[in-house]
Structure 1
């Protein structure tokens, strides 16, 4: 059931909850934002600390190449040390993100980009405005557990798990699942599909453009929003460490946002994987009305993303320009590619006959099927004894809390440890698997 209808403008009002529609900046915040820093205005309306009470004047950021990027007094003291008056983000950083997204993804209709305090805050804001308790959403059968456990579960949001294969979510399975819900009427019809299309967490699969087109058309046919959570987009290394894409070689016009003729895609990008997660910076791009409500939701949570972090990122990205960002991304991608190769090689040395896996070409994880076990959680005791920690596949399953759910896989993170530690960890994993096998026999 694939739509052949021409582009239609999605009506955001039918997706935004009553609570979401009621979100606003508040009269006082609006008054402060309207008149702050307006020439000639003497402001007695806002409870703002005086800038001369701030102990910091500027920041010098020393980079790994020995250079220094300065966040000057005007940018810091007069702007980002104060209460945030830009709930959609520091204008200079937001302008960069808007241009950056347009260049990489080229949405075919007008969108708005806002800065959020990390992808986690973006997700939290979207859930707060799009879901009522008891609503439903579509997820990949194995998916990021922070969404299912920390966002969906507290509001009793029904998860509709859809099978995946090496190419990502299966369009036919999605169609069958949605049609089954529509016919049965046993639960609220899903209003949104959540997906991690690049280096999917946990399986590491990449959803290609043709598959995305199919999924997008199914969502059009059944009128679903698509939440495209893409934190690993910048961590692609399809040809290994010897030929990384940097910025210039990343796939362009190949995202769900690139296909979005209707305004149904909400895309989250993150700086966590290529700058630093402690900055807590990400950007959300979507239909202007949805972005407006999301900015209100962020404002109610934290008054916006951290001002100092935004100033630091804006100064760094401005200093680098496209060429500098390309070089930095190339460096980061080489690190990840080398560690992915190190884990793959270690697995070849130690795990042949014990497990199945593929060489990762993006992201931070290697997804491994353990042979001879029904559920990888059975290995816990042996892993503890071997002093190696992995993530059992069951915790990623949308039905992880139900009896009988079994996943014979583990997720191994190659991103943090050194190649030497990766070698030792994989050897310990092999030891644990042999111990478990011997105990069973």
Structure 2
């Protein structure tokens, strides 16, 4: 792979921080540093840390490791945690080619840095339609054009992707005839936000081969990967990446804690190290205390203990979905159409009753009835009006599921009455 052609001029200008470049030598035995400029840890008031788990167990954090976590450390993350995650990636994905791993302050942090690395002014970027609003908000601040690829209940449609690439530039929705063909695809393959859709392994294989044909890099944003309800889990793009064209992003947010703000990127060294160069000049490193909290727990569990925890988490969300599905059928039949996800925490509803603008409906009518859903337009690359909304079942009691969907159906009924449309419930 020739990675230089994918990297923007702005990213190529990034150079290692002269001070942080010395960081990897700081912990060598016998090394004496007069150049680090680190504050003296004896002035820090924290002496130690004990983690109390919900099952009553306590983990006393290693004293030396805790003290290390209070100071500046490597940009790529605490070495012990980085090594544990590398082993996890090998056990879970067994990447066919060599890879590098780096930890970030949540996957959103390193995702935005990765995407900026690929964006030249006027470039086109491939995204699912719809896709994650958090990344859309970031990308719309960048000097690029978004090319939405159609999706269905199984995620991104391979034929739609190939049609765009094969017929470029005529297929370019921006109408720019001189715009180079996109080089990067951003995808959420499991439990996609907002649709809840998951790509089958066969579909991933087709998409990967299309990307090989047109030399496309795949940005695999997979925070819901471990929330797959079926076993075995559908294999990742990383697991079939024989070229080194996949940059994979994982997150602790859905499986340990969203507040620890830890994510990690796995992929070719030439790309991961360039993300690290960005971190060196912005937030320096992920938070040390969060990393040591995660590492001590993961190290206590071991990888088998981690996988057992994952089984419990995915079963929890599967049971939440089963409850939610019951109330969807009870309250929303005739008022909306939907597909049941196989992963994650979202359901994507198409409202009926003549609804054409869910943003107007939610912001002006649903809120008055004390029910919140996310209007679909915030997830669309072009931001057009849509009858779709995103619902989440992850953190709602059965009683509130029932009541919220009752109120939502009432809003749709009122809209249908205004439109003179009969609801077939």
| Structure 2 alignment gaps of length 5 or more | 171-175, 421-425
**Structure 1 residue 313, shift from structure 2 partner:** 0.4
Deviation string 1:162-199 (CA, Å, 9 cap, x unpaired) is 11122221222111111232457342321100000001
CA distance in 2, matches of 1:94, 1:191: 29
Mean CA deviation greater in 127-136 or 176-185: 176-185
**Structure 1 residue 153, shift from structure 2 partner:** 1.3
CA distance in 1, matches of 2:334, 2:282: 50
Q: Secondary structure at the match of 2:141?
A: helix
CA contact (8 A) 2:153 2:339 kept: no
Matches for 1:418-429 after TM superposition, within 5 Å: 418-429=397-408
CA contact (8 A) 2:190 2:225 kept: yes
Deviation string 1:331-372 (CA, Å, 9 cap, x unpaired) is 222221122112111111111211122333210111111113
CA contact (8 A) 1:167 1:206 kept: yes
Matching of residue 431 in structure 1 with residue 422 in structure 2: no
CA distance in 1, matches of 2:301, 2:102: 21
CA contact (8 A) 2:66 2:292 kept: yes
Matching of residue 387 in structure 1 with residue 370 in structure 2: yes
Q: Which residue in 2 is equivalent to 1:351?
A: 332
Matching of residue 16 in structure 1 with residue 7 in structure 2: yes
Matches for 1:168-317 after TM superposition, within 5 Å: 168-182=155-169, 185-238=177-230, 245=231, 249-251=232-234, 254-317=235-298
**Structure 1 residue 385, shift from structure 2 partner:** 2.0
CA distance in 2, matches of 1:309, 1:321: 18
Q: Secondary structure at the match of 1:154?
A: coil
**Structure 1 residue 384, shift from structure 2 partner:** 1.8
Q: Which residue in 1 is equivalent to 2:423?
A: none
Question: TM-score, structure 1 length as denominator?
Answer: 0.90
2:16 corresponds to which of 4, 15, 25: 25
Matching of residue 111 in structure 1 with residue 109 in structure 2: no
Q: Which residue in 1 is equivalent to 2:80?
A: 92
Q: Which residue in 2 is equivalent to 1:81?
A: 70
Matching of residue 334 in structure 1 with residue 315 in structure 2: yes
CA contact (8 A) 1:128 1:297 kept: no
CA distance in 2, matches of 1:237, 1:390: 24
Q: Secondary structure at the match of 2:325?
A: helix
Deviation string 1:280-310 (CA, Å, 9 cap, x unpaired) is 1111011111111111112222111111101
CA distance in 2, matches of 1:357, 1:182: 34
Q: Which residue in 2 is equivalent to 1:5?
A: none
CA distance in 2, matches of 1:378, 1:283: 37
Q: Which residue in 2 is equivalent to 1:7?
A: none
Cα–Cα, structure 1 residues 97 and 434, in superposed 2: closer, same or farther, change >3 Å? same
**Structure 1 residue 118, shift from structure 2 partner:** 0.7
CA distance in 2, matches of 1:364, 1:277: 14
CA distance in 1, matches of 2:158, 2:336: 29
- Count how many residue pairs are aligned between Structure 1 and Structure 2: 413
Deviation string 1:61-99 (CA, Å, 9 cap, x unpaired) is 11111111221220011x111012x11111111111111
Q: Secondary structure at the match of 2:227?
A: coil
CA distance in 1, matches of 2:266, 2:34: 35
Cα–Cα, structure 1 residues 34 and 116, in superposed 2: closer, same or farther, change >3 Å? closer
1:48 corresponds to which of 14, 17, 38: 38
**Structure 1 residue 120, shift from structure 2 partner:** 0.5
Matching of residue 155 in structure 1 with residue 103 in structure 2: no
CA distance in 2, matches of 1:163, 1:359: 18
CA contact (8 A) 2:17 2:280 kept: no
CA distance in 2, matches of 1:41, 1:205: 52
**Structure 1 residue 201, shift from structure 2 partner:** 1.2
Question: TM-score, structure 2 length as denominator?
Answer: 0.93
CA distance in 2, matches of 1:363, 1:182: 35
Q: Which residue in 2 is equivalent to 1:440?
A: 419
**Structure 1 residue 34, shift from structure 2 partner:** 4.4
Deviation string 1:383-439 (CA, Å, 9 cap, x unpaired) is 122110101112111110xxxx33221110111222222221111111211222223
CA contact (8 A) 2:119 2:143 kept: no
Cα–Cα, structure 1 residues 111 and 132, in superposed 2: closer, same or farther, change >3 Å? same
CA distance in 2, matches of 1:267, 1:34: 24
**Structure 1 residue 140, shift from structure 2 partner:** 0.8
